[in-house]
Amino acid sequence: MSKIERGVLTLFLGIFLFSIIMTNAKFNRIDQRVNKKFYDNELRLTAAEKQIPGIVKFQELVKVIQDRSTGKLTAFEIIEIAKIIIVECEMNSSIGLTPDKILAVIERESNFNPHAVSYAKAYGLMQVIRTTCEIHLPELGYGNFSKELVLDPIVNIQLGIKELVRLRKYWLEEGTDSWIITMTSYFWGIRNTWALLTEKKRANLPSLEYGKGILDLADNWRERGI
């Protein structure tokens, strides 16, 4: 074989090998893209599966609020209230806040009536009083207290949940890990609840029955899948 022939053959082999290498590289890139696509889809599926319990709970909340409010809330308000409950419970899961507890307070306080006003001037779904509102309204970015503002069901649910979280954290810091005490103080206030815990029983002291009743209602909601 002449030098020229060997040169041509070497060039041909080089081109052939180069084409194989490039083809393999192309297939590798395709494989990488396909694998990445499968991997990305797997991640999306896993993420979606993790969201399913939250979506189901959200749907249940919407249905419950819609049924129990008997037309007193708009569709927008119902959806927003359900979203707020889900988000706040997720943010405060470490202290044990759950949707069943919030629904229990709403049921006990207003029976899901957003227009409820008590003789003691407690307002709305979660029956918040003015002093409670004035603690949380600035934190939530709202203006000064007004009856119209705190009767807005979306504002009201935020105020009530903030107060529950505040009370729960207060009692935990005091070394009392008890939702009965937290719920008792939601109704009776911190001072009266301390009196209940530290003083001998008197006729004018509150009892723990309110807090126990709230947790009984919460158990009922939890049994229904909330």
Alpha helices by DSSP H, 70-129:
75-91, 99-110
CB 162 within 8 A of CB 102: no
Long-range pairs of 130-135 with CB within 8 A, sequence gap ≥ 24: 132/159, 132/163, 133/159, 135/162, 135/163, 135/166
In contact, 175 and 207? CB cutoff 8 Å: no
Considering only the C-alpha atoms of the chain, give the largest distance between any 2 of them, rounded to a whole number of Å.
Answer: 120
| Terminal alpha carbon distance of the chain | 86
CA-CA-CA-CA torsion sign (120, 209, 133, 79): negative
Nearest to 127 by CA among 82, 163, 160, 89: 160
Burial classification of residue 12, based on how many CB atoms lie within 10 Å of its CB (0-12 exposed, 13-18 middle, 19 or more buried): exposed
Q: Are 202 and 171 in contact (CB under 8 A)?
A: no
The pLDDT profile of the chain, 226 residues, written as one tens digit per residue, is 555 554 544 544 455 555 555 555 555 655 555 455 555 555 554 544 454 556 778 889 999 999 999 999 999 999 999 999 999 999 999 999 999 999 999 999 999 999 999 998 999 999 999 999 999 999 999 989 999 999 999 999 999 999 999 999 999 999 999 999 999 999 999 988 998 888 765 656 678 899 999 999 999 999 988 8
- pTM score: 0.76
Residue 4: the pLDDT is: 57
User: What's the confidence (pLDDT) of residue 172?
Assistant: 97
Task: Map out the domains of the chain with their CATH numbers.
Answer: 53-223 (1.10.530.10)
The predicted structure's pLDDT at residue 19? 58
